[in-house]
Amino acid sequence: MDTFRTKLPDGFDLPKRLQRLSELAYNLWWTWEPEAARLFGRLDYDLWGRIGHNPIRLLREIDPQRLNQAAEDKEYLAVFDHVFGLFDAYMNQKKTWTSQTYPELNGRPIAYFSMEFGLHETLPIYSGGLGVLAGDHLKEASDLGLPITGVGFMYAEGYFSQRIAEDGWQDAINNTLDFKNLPALPVLDHSGRRLCVEVEFPDRIVSLGLWELHIGRIPLYLLDSNLDQNSESDQQLTARLYWSDLDRRVMQELLLGVGGVRALRALGYNPSVWHMNEGHAAFLTLERARELVAGGSTFAEAIEKTRAQNVFTTHTPVPAGNDEFPLWLIEKYLGAFWPQLNLTLDQFFEIARHQMPQGETFSMGILALRHSAGRNAVSELHGRVARRMWHFLWKEKEESDVPITHVTNGVHVSNWMARRLMNLFCDYLGEDWYDHLDEPDFWSNIDGIPDADLWAVRLHLKRKLAFYMRERVRDRWTQGGFHPVQVVSSGVLINPYALTIGFARRFATYKRASLVLTDVERLLHIINRPNMPVQIIFAGKAHPADEPGKQLIQQVYRQVKRAETGGRLVFLEDYDMNLARYLVQGVDVWLNTPRRPYEASGTSGMKAALNGALNFSVLDGWWREAYNGYNGWAIGEDREAESQGIQDAQDAESLYTTLENEIIPLYYDRDPKEISREWMARMKNSMKTNIPQFSTRRMVKDYVKRLYVQALPSISAEEGKR
Ligand SMILES: *Cc1c(COP(=O)(O)O)cnc(C)c1O
């Protein structure tokens, strides 16, 4: 891999002693090592907050005086040396979980393709759970020493910022990203020019440049069509996530699947496993087959040879949620590609033909399933749903034998856990507690933490959330044009000592954000009880083309802004990873009301659980596996109702009753020290059952054991033949 290189940009005028700060700014390791993040923050907390935790901007914009002071400040330098000690040890670690458990993976890169990656709020190239999962997957892979390489897109505009107008309507603001302030470096070829790969369309060729990001020990390559040699409309192909018009959508996916494989080849990679995070990248299976067809294989032989190394993760329990393209559209854009597979057009369509109500389509889900040996859903229930949904592809088998397994999702713990809590764990569980993340027995030690200490941390985190909301409002108010109703709706009246419920997620209709508003009078009564107030914080974006989603936001906002709520219902604008962190760390209860079984997994509740919040959720996705009757609460039962209307009504009733009779009384049942002992017992039970089970530590290990290493023997066999 000597044909490319990247170079840290010049232009950081740092004192010699602090020179290495720029190196750290370009490795996202700092985002999940709290001490490293503080190293930037300490330089200038005010600026750090104002520019949204962007270390590259910080180093460019900070007053040089402050840097000089820091370079002389013994206390700062001690932290600096400590952090770089950790960084160097991390980057050079030889004995990792992978090297010790699966040495055969050494030198066998795993390619991980995803349409989005949620790594940090300064890099808005994600829209929701799928991206955050991909980001957490890479971070954990780095921690475990797994030789993984990510492939995705660098979106020129990123995902939109959300504003909520006074009438509750969502405004989408598209920002052009300033790449020079992002931790992405252009990949150059050996002659110092931009390394490019090409994808052919029937009437033209589209070039893609590459950006390299460092996620701890592993690289992530992002494709970008915004190059001079492309037409203006082609430059736009990678400008945004999920174009809603199908033309651009199919072109984008062709760039990801085909361009992504070519990018890895240009970089000198020969991956042993090709992991598709959702079907958007499924064209990669065809590009890999094309490589072999070009070498003389038939298409059938090529697929047979490559299938064993492909792994496909499905996240979509609804048939319509999978990308399906009309056949004419495929013919229109893949016209230069499919002939290279030595197939007729009809044979090509046959690969992924799907009979849908609206006609025949080319299904990315079918394409990925047929051409992958490893296939998984993202929770146990989702596995069952996926086997039922795709049974028609394996007609000869019983439904339960459909070869789709499941690996339940997880979250990257140090990315999501509050630093205060990690410090508490250091005190009571030992400095090395992080090495025991996925060991259930270890976590029974949680019981040894005094209630008062854990409660003090929880209160601190709640106050932090309240202050954060207030500072956001102050900013918006100062900018002008912010109506008093918006001020109140943004959480200024929040009481940091009252029971606080969080509901934050994409506003897709199946998530039923308005379920809690089914009976508004009953809800008003619940939240306004004099000695037992309850607050609910909503947040979330709707895809800009999703009209029902935007109407749902408006419906929620209409209630939020009513005076009768006393400011206890709140809607926070612009849900992103930063806001998510404050919410999952600061609320007491995490509410989730999907219409079962459409959640697939869900991950935000896991983030809340590891911070000590209690989940109150429909028994769907991960929560169906996690709930033990004591570590939180269930909404509804472990089954689906006869109709959506009935299910909605039953779930709403269950939600209100449990809130009224169980959650609220329990929270306010205080002893003389103002602590609810029963609440603390449940909190501890939730932490010790959920942390070991729903972290990416457990998840990535599962992927390695159950899907990645399965792909290896066939490679050895193939290599043996050569
Ligand atoms: C974790 C996360 C999600 C996914 O949460 P769900 O539980 O799947 O709703 C979405 N958006 C952001 C910003 C997140 O941090």
**Structural domain includes residue 347:** yes
**Cβ(620)–Cβ(599) under 8 Å?**
yes
Angstrom distance (rounded) from CA 631 to CA 615: 8
**Structural domain includes residue 340:** yes
Q: Rounded to a whole number, what is the distance in angstroms from the first to the last CA of the chain?
A: 22
User: Is the minimum distance from the CB of 567 to ligand 1 under 6 angstroms?
Assistant: no
Does 62 lie in the same domain as 114? no
Does 554 lie in the same domain as 651? yes
CA torsion angle 73 79 82 87 (round to 10): -110
Does 470 lie in the same domain as 375? no
Q: Closest ligand 1 atom, CA of 504?
A: 9
Measured in Å, residue 26 CA sits from the centre of ligand 1 at: 25
Predicted local confidence at residue 12, as pLDDT:
79
273-277 and 310-313 strand pairing: parallel
Check pLDDT > 70 for residue 385: yes
Choose the final residue of a domain: 364, 390, 406. Answer: 406
User: Is the minimum distance from the CB of 128 to ligand 1 under 6 angstroms?
Assistant: yes
Q: Which domain holds residue 564?
A: 458-694
Helix (H) or strand (E) holding 381: helix 380-389
Going by alpha carbons, the residue nearest to atom 9 of ligand 1 is 505
Does 115 lie in the same domain as 86? no
Residue type (1 letter), 530: P
Q: Residue 356 CB: number of other CB atoms within 10 A? A: 12
Those residues with Cβ within 8 angstroms of residue 376's Cβ, 6 or more apart along the chain or in another chain: 311, 312, 313, 314, 383, 404, 405, 406, 407, 706, 707
Angstrom distance (rounded) from CA 197 to CA 218: 21
Measured in Å, residue 419 CA sits from the centre of ligand 1 at: 20
Look up the pTM and report it: 0.97
Check pLDDT > 80 for residue 717: no
Angstrom distance (rounded) from CA 487 to CA 270: 54
Check pLDDT > 50 for residue 272: yes
Measured in Å, residue 285 CA sits from the centre of ligand 1 at: 29
**Structural domain includes residue 465:** yes
Does 77 lie in the same domain as 188? no
Predicted local confidence at residue 721, as pLDDT:
40
DSSP label at residue 220: E
Which pLDDT band, with edges at 50, 70 and 90, does 13 fall under? confident
Please state, rounded to an integer, the average pLDDT across all residues of the chain: 95
Residue of 685, 676, 703 whose CA lies nearest to 626: 685
Q: Give the pLDDT confidence of 533-587 residue by residue, as tens digits.
A: 999 999 999 999 999 999 999 999 999 999 999 999 999 999 999 999 999 999 9
User: Is the minimum distance from the CB of 132 to ligand 1 under 6 angstroms?
Assistant: yes
The total of structural domains in the chain comes to: 3
**Structural domain includes residue 356:** yes
DSSP label at residue 309: T
Does 318 lie in the same domain as 191? yes
Does 491 lie in the same domain as 565? yes
Going by alpha carbons, the residue nearest to atom 5 of ligand 1 is 604
Measured in Å, residue 380 CA sits from the centre of ligand 1 at: 19
Q: Residue 71 CB: number of other CB atoms within 10 A? A: 16
**Structural domain includes residue 720:** no
Does 616 lie in the same domain as 472? yes
Does 666 lie in the same domain as 563? yes
**Coil, strand or helix: which one is 303?**
helix
Angstrom distance (rounded) from CA 136 to CA 697: 10
Q: Give the pLDDT confidence of 464-484 residue by residue, as tens digits.
A: 999 999 999 999 999 999 999
Candidates 133, 415, 505: which one to mutate for ligand 1, based on the most atoms within 8 Å of Cβ?
A: 505
Going by alpha carbons, the residue nearest to atom 11 of ligand 1 is 128
**Cβ(662)–Cβ(668) under 8 Å?**
no
**Structural domain includes residue 264:** yes
Measured in Å, residue 410 CA sits from the centre of ligand 1 at: 12
Q: Closest ligand 1 atom, CA of 604?
A: 7
Q: Give the pLDDT confidence of 671-709 residue by residue, as tens digits.
A: 999 999 999 999 999 999 999 999 999 999 999 999 999
| DSSP, residue by residue, 145-179 | T--EEEEEE--SS-SPEEEE-TTSPEEEE-----G
Q: What is the CATH number of the domain that holds 247?
A: 3.40.50.2000
**Structural domain includes residue 382:** yes
Angstrom distance (rounded) from CA 231 to CA 224: 13
Check pLDDT > 70 for residue 197: yes
Choose the final residue of a domain: 384, 406, 428. Answer: 406
Which comes out higher in pLDDT, residue 320 or 193? 193
113-118-119 Cα angle (round to 5) = 105
User: Is the minimum distance from the CB of 577 to ligand 1 under 6 angstroms?
Assistant: yes
Choose the final residue of a domain: 344, 374, 406. Answer: 406
**Structural domain includes residue 477:** yes
